[in-house]
Amino acid sequence: MAEPVPAIKLTGLRKRYGAGETAVDALKGVDMTVWPGEVVGLVGPSGSGKSTLLKCLGAVIEPTAGRMELAGETIYDGDAGGWKIADLRALRRDRIGFVFQAPYLIPFLDVTDNVALLPMLAGQDNAAARKRALELLTALDVRHRAGAQISQLSGGEQQRVAIARALANHAPVILADEPTAPLDSERALTVVRILNDLARQYHTAIVVVTHDEKIIPTFRRIYHIRDGRTHEEAGEGRAL
């Protein structure tokens, strides 16, 4: 039987902003492993390096050193020239899903097209992209709002649509930045349950950056980040 491959593997990842005396080391050697189908919490105080780590993982900013692998493929190697992928835009589009604190949906597209946009950007025809979008909206229980404008949705519904968009291109990794921050306890726990269900259903690795005390107990594994360094600990894995 083949060795399981982690969806995310970070080894000694570093990020330095600036140079010389004013340089700031935001990440000082982060190690992290996330397996397919797993939801992992990334917890830490403000300024600890959470967002920097998320931006590195999302191929939005370039790390300074270390190694980053996605689904077994090295995408960054600080010892071998940096990025190993030429088209980072395509990497983000096809292999990484993003869920933000605010949903950041495109206000001039309806619900279906917000989700379908991602496969369309990847070159799928409109009909196939919309079919995929409707499948995901059904899975996320917002199929009935498929034709609605974004401004007509509640905060929870918007977040579900954002999650559907993150999944639209079958990304093996989803990065969720404070996805429950604007939601009340009930809705926050619902979002986490949805993420867990989707991780299992689509075999997706999900990293949830959060401060939210309500949802921290739901993670089985948590990475604490402080002063640019992570340490792993087992979570409570409280049932949802």
Instruction: By CB under 8 A, name the binding residues for another protein.
Output: 50-52, 54-55, 58, 60-61, 89-90, 92-94, 98, 100-101, 104, 106-109, 113, 116-118, 120-122, 126, 149, 165, 177-178
Q: Helix H segments across the chain? A: 50-57, 88-95, 111-121, 126-139, 155-167, 185-202
Smallest gap, in angstroms, from Cβ of residue 122 to another protein?
Answer: 7
d(CA 180, CA 202): 21
Q: Which is nearer to another protein, 69 or 177 (by Cβ)? A: 177
Q: Which is nearer to another protein, 39 or 171 (by Cβ)? A: 171
Q: Which is nearer to another protein, 54 or 205 (by Cβ)? A: 54
Quote the DSSP letter at residue 147.
T
d(CA 207, CA 9): 12
Smallest gap, in angstroms, from Cβ of residue 4 to another protein?
Answer: 28
Q: Which is nearer to another protein, 26 or 199 (by Cβ)? A: 26
Reduced to 3 DSSP states, what percent helix, strand and coil does the chain have, rounded to the nearest 5? 35, 30, 35
Smallest gap, in angstroms, from Cβ of residue 63 to another protein?
Answer: 13
Closest CA relative to residue 13, chosen from 77, 74, 73, 59? 77
